[in-house]
Amino acid sequence: MNEPWMMLVVSCAVVLIGLMGVIFRQSLLVVLMSVELMLNAVNLSFVTFSKMHNSLDGQIAVLFVMTVAAAESAVGLGLVIALFRTLKTADSDQIQMLRD
C-alpha cells in the first residue's frame, strides 16, 4: 500500500461528511456522533502522514486525540442529559433561551 493519497481522500471525505452532519442535523446526539466522525478522519490522516514521514509522532498524536475525544464525548453527553432534563428535548433548534 504505497499510495498515501488514497487514504487522504478517504479522510477528507469523512471529515466533510461529519461537517455536513454537524451543520444539518437537529438531534444533538447525531451532532456529537458527527464530531466523532471528524476526529476519526483526522486520526486517519495523522497515521497516514506518520507512515509517510517514517516517524511515530503522528501515532502518538492519535493516542492523545483519542483520549481527548473520549473526554469530550463524556462531557458532551453529560451536557445533553442535563439539557434534556431541563428542556425535555435534545434538538439544537429548541435551545433558544438566550433569544427570549
Residues in region 66-95 near another protein by CB under 8 A:
66-75, 77-82, 84-86, 90-91, 93
CB contact at 8 A, 45 and 11: yes
Q: Of 11-70, which residues contact another protein (CB under 8 A)? A: 12-21, 23-27, 29-30, 32-34, 36-37, 40, 43-44, 47-57, 59-60, 62-64, 66-70
Closest separation in Å from C-beta 38 to another protein: 10
Maximal C-alpha separation, the chain: 57
d(CA 16, CA 22): 10
- Residue appearing with cell numbers 445533553: 80
Tell me the CA distances in angstroms from 62 to 10, 13, 87, 91, one per residue in order: 17, 19, 36, 31
State which residue, 51 or 95, has the beta carbon closest to another protein. Answer: 51
d(CA 98, CA 45): 38
State which residue, 62 or 98, has the beta carbon closest to another protein. Answer: 62
State which residue, 41 or 98, has the beta carbon closest to another protein. Answer: 41
Is 97 a binding residue for another protein by CB under 8 A? The answer is no
Size of the site for another protein (CB under 8 A): 71
